[in-house]
Amino acid sequence: MKKIDIMSLMHEEIAGLLPKMPKYRTDQIFEWLHRRNATSFGEMENLPRTLRSELREMFFIPKISVVEKLISKNDKTEKFLTKISNDVFVESVLMRYKHGNSVCISTQAGCKMGCRFCASAESGFQRNLTAGEYLAQVYNAGEDVKNIVLMGCGEPLDNLNATLRFLELISHPKGKNISQRNITVSTCGLVPQIYELAERTLQITLAISLHAPTDETREMLMPIAKTYPLAELMQACRHYAEKTGRRLTFEYALAHGLNDSVQHAKLLAKLLKGILCHVNLIPINKARSEFSPTPRREVEKFAAILQEKNTPVTIRRSLGGDINAACGQLRARRILD
């Protein structure tokens, strides 16, 4: 019998698979997994030995081991290269803010999307992660995590079922009970999945990796833009905002001389007009040598134009630059070296 990832199961699913077990035992198991971060059934000391033996026969707990840990000297950001379930390497990043710690986790081992400015796809796509493997990354980051970002290696909406299950589990009142309002899910723009996500009317923040205000430039940066042009993507985004009442975030990585001109800023403001949204400007990461980050002065000028056009905007604070904290870099180094 193939064992089941117990961390990916909802409370009632565990009870359903063990129908003779008293209900309060399910509560105890769920607490051990999601509040006390048990890594083995042997740790569950308040369960009978016979039940622990039955759990071992039917289920497994995803194992996570830290292969490498880097700590930024500049801002104490921590980056983890971890091995999950003994077959894949994934990355996660713990970022420290005054308002609380955030953890950025991976949703796939590698990525299929092939965005030119991102290192995640360099080492190839291995497989989707399970919801339990999402959770293992969060729990590995420590007890004081207040916010979660699904923006590490992989495309969360390309692994939609696991992403939805993770959101259920991490916000479960008998588990960590982290509010969905404290969770951001990123996507490069998978239009059908955005519509599907809208129907769930979740309280998450949906972040769209946009990076260009025209199809021509966006297609050069992101292969997915050839499948879903901006007109389709913007229609889906409008629907999402109207359906959920939640403000969208548009991620815009500025590459010097490519997408950072005054004209680009004006086109971006026009593209987003009427959408409940916020723009997050990011000087592009140096992981890919073909692009150079836009100088700070020009980033501020770009932001000022958006503000003049009544488009809410912030400039993302860069964290972990001295430890290659951008997604995919550490994994690629490990696999390709």
Q: What is the pLDDT of residues 317-332, one digit of tens each?
A: 765 555 454 555 554 4
In the beta sheet, which residues pair with residue 80? 69, 92
Task: Provide the 8-state DSSP code for 89.
Answer: E
| Per-residue pLDDT band at 104 (split at 50, 70, 90) | very high
Query: When comparing pLDDT for 313 and 285, which is higher?
Result: 313
Q: What is the mean pLDDT of the chain?
A: 91
Tens-digit pLDDT profile for residues 300-318? 999 999 999 999 999 987 6
Work out the end-to-end distance of the chain between its first and last CA atoms, rounded to an integer number of angstroms. Answer: 37
Pairing outcome for strands 145-150 and 183-187 = parallel
Percentage of the chain beyond pLDDT 70 is: 93
Mean pLDDT of 223-246: 97
Of 112-126, 251-265, 293-307, the least confident? 112-126
Q: Given this model, what pLDDT does residue 335 score?
A: 45
Mean pLDDT of 255-260: 94
Of 100-109, 172-181, 280-289, the least confident? 280-289
Cβ atoms of 115 and 82 closer than 8 Å? no
| Per-residue pLDDT band at 286 (split at 50, 70, 90) | low
Q: Given this model, what pLDDT does residue 337 score?
A: 47
User: How far apart are the C-alpha atoms of 150 and 23, rounded to whole Å?
Assistant: 33
Mean pLDDT of 234-246: 98
Task: Write the single-letter amino acid at 271.
Answer: L
Q: Is the pLDDT of residue 18 over 60?
A: yes
Residues involved in catalysis: 91, 327
Mean pLDDT of 203-224: 96
Q: Given this model, what pLDDT does residue 101 score?
A: 92
| Per-residue pLDDT band at 168 (split at 50, 70, 90) | very high
Q: Given this model, what pLDDT does residue 39 score?
A: 94
Percentage of the chain beyond pLDDT 90 is: 79
| Per-residue pLDDT band at 76 (split at 50, 70, 90) | confident
The pTM score is 0.92
- What is the Cα Rg of the chain in Å? 21
| Per-residue pLDDT band at 118 (split at 50, 70, 90) | confident
Q: Is the pLDDT of residue 336 over 50?
A: no
Q: Given this model, what pLDDT does residue 47 score?
A: 97
Sole residue written with tokens 């955005």: 194
Q: Say whether 320 sits in a helix, a strand or coil.
A: coil
Q: Is the pLDDT of residue 72 over 90?
A: no
User: How far apart are the C-alpha atoms of 267 and 275, rounded to whole Å?
Assistant: 14
169's tokens: 């589990």
Mean pLDDT of 116-143: 87
